[in-house]
């Protein structure tokens, strides 16, 4: 591994990139958190889930719509609405311009958001929402491009997701004693994971976890959680799936988050709350930084340039996040992930459930994405 630990990596970024900042160490820490989100998004994208993805949406608690929670990535039932082409000379690609290419009712078009899929200086907005109401979300994604035109994929998403993915990096920095913010952030993530799905967790007197779910007839069904979860994912029964959401957490190391011998309190809280908890290893994050941001091959220069330009000390210039990213960096990241996908999948260890693999999570997401959601949700 190029760096001994993520703390060493953060010190290197503090010295080499964020030296201008008033609190350079904090700036470097936040940038590492952004990198975890970017890696997670491009993994989902490489797995083929981009056109199911919404970013930073507010998700209501199960049967309690008065309380909503912001989630980083949500995966929704998706149906292609249109594939359209637009000339590169027509930048920026605003929602208004895109609406003119679609055959939609006037009332819907009139309520399109004032968003841009691609700005005049080619900053891409991932999963760009054009319109939403209680029954649908219309999202546009940038597809392949030619020398003269962009290809856009416009999809209709069902508001209720079948999965959510959140990134957590709340460990303790080097030299700082463990404070309440660490466990409190873990508890916040755990609370969301345990309240958004119809499949709820309860602890039995022997310490085991059971799942409980109310069926359409009002009766309660309860079974050991892991086997019940697998049953729900494999099912086509509307009463099991209608309000179900698979919850996935991605954590990265910072100080004493995790060792191979011991899971600390924060990790235990998250592991018992998310259906899947993945650990992005120090080696993986370090290799990403070393390969793409430090000793960058010419092929991937656009990634480093977008990252460095995002951290100049000036506000409003960020072009390297999960939401907004320079188009050239986006294309380079797609190239890197497609070329190195199997290696990058190995950057993630499964914390929970035990004895499962990242590829099994991918299979579950594929199974959920492919279900007949129109029939299930009607």
Instruction: Give 195-221 pLDDT, tens digit per residue.
Output: 999 999 999 999 999 999 999 999 999
pLDDT at 171: 57
Across the beta sheet with 123-125, the strand order is 93-94, 116-118, 123-125, 324-326
CA-CA-CA-CA torsion sign (366, 368, 371, 377): negative
Nearest-angstrom CA–CA distance, 243 and 160 = 8
Residue-level pLDDT at 254: 58
Q: Is the omega angle on the peptide bond into residue 92 within 30 degrees of 0, that is, cis?
A: yes
For 336, phi then psi, to 5°, come to: -65, -45
pTM value > 0.95: no
Instruction: Report residues of the chain scoring pLDDT below 70.
Output: 1-5, 170-182, 254-263, 313, 316
Task: Judge residue 262's burial from the number of C-beta atoms within 10 Å of its C-beta, 0-12 exposed, 13-18 middle, 19 or more buried.
Answer: exposed
Q: What strands lie across the sheet with 78-87, from one edge to the other? A: 78-87, 149-157, 137-145, 128-132
Q: What pLDDT is stored for residue 180 in this prediction?
A: 42
For the chain, what is the mean pLDDT? Answer: 90
Rounded Cα–Cα distance for residues 23 and 8 (Å): 17
Model pLDDT, residue 249: 96
Q: What is the pLDDT of residue 179?
A: 44
Task: Give CA–CA dist 196/166, Å, rounded.
Answer: 13
pLDDT tens digits for 154-169?
999 999 999 999 998 7
Separation between Cα atoms, residue 303 and residue 343, nearest integer Å: 19
Chain centroid to Cα 101, Å, comes to 29
- Residue 273 Cα distances to 26, 49, 141, 319, angstroms: 28, 23, 32, 33
d(CA 238, CA 216): 8
d(CA 191, CA 270): 9
Strand order in the sheet with 246-252: 53-61, 64-75, 163-168, 246-252, 276-280, 348-352
DSSP, collapsed to helix, strand or coil, labels residue 140 as: strand
Q: Are 155 and 80 in contact (CB under 8 A)?
A: yes
C-alpha dihedral sign at 134, 364, 271, 173? negative
């Amino acid at each position: 591994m190029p760096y001994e630990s993520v703390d060493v990596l953060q010190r290197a970024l503090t010295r080499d990139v964020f030296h201008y900042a008033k609190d350079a160490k904090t700036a470097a820490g936040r940038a590492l958190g952004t990198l975890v989100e970017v890696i997670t998004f491009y993994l989902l994208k490489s797995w083929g889930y981009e056109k199911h993805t919404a970013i930073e949406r507010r998700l209501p608690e199960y049967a309690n719509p008065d309380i909503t929670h912001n989630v980083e990535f949500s995966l929704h039932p998706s149906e292609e609405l249109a594939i359209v082409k637009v000339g590169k000379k027509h930048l920026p690609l605003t929602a208004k311009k895109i609406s003119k290419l679609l055959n939609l009712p006037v009332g819907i078009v009139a309520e399109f958001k004032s968003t841009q899929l691609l700005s005049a200086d080619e900053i891409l907005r991932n999963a760009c929402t054009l319109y939403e109401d209680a029954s649908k979300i219309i999202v546009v994604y940038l597809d392949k491009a030619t020398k003269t035109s962009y290809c856009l994929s416009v999809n209709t998403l069902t508001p209720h997701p079948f999965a959510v993915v959140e990134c957590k990096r709340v460990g303790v920095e080097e030299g700082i004693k463990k404070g309440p913010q660490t466990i409190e952030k873990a508890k916040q993530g755990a609370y969301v994971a345990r309240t958004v799905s119809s499949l709820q967790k309860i602890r039995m007197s022997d310490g085991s976890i059971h799942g409980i779910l109310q069926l359409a007839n009002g009766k309660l069904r309860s079974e050991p959680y892991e086997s019940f979860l697998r049953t729900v994912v494999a099912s086509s029964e509307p009463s099991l799936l209608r309000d179900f959401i698979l919850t996935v957490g991605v954590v990265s190391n910072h100080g004493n988050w995790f060792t191979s011998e011991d899971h600390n309190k924060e990790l235990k809280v998250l592991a018992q709350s998310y259906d899947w908890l993945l650990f992005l290893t120090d080696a993986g994050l370090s290799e990403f930084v070393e390969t793409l941001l430090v000793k960058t091959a010419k092929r991937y220069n656009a990634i480093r340039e977008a990252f460095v330009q995002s951290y100049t000390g000036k506000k409003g210039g960020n072009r390297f996040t999960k939401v907004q990213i320079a188009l050239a960096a986006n294309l380079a990241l797609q190239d890197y992930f497609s070329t190195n996908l199997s290696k990058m999948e190995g950057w993630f260890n499964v914390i929970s459930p035990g004895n499962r693999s990242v590829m099994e999570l991918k299979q579950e997401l594929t199974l959920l994405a492919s279900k007949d959601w129109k029939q299930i949700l009607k």
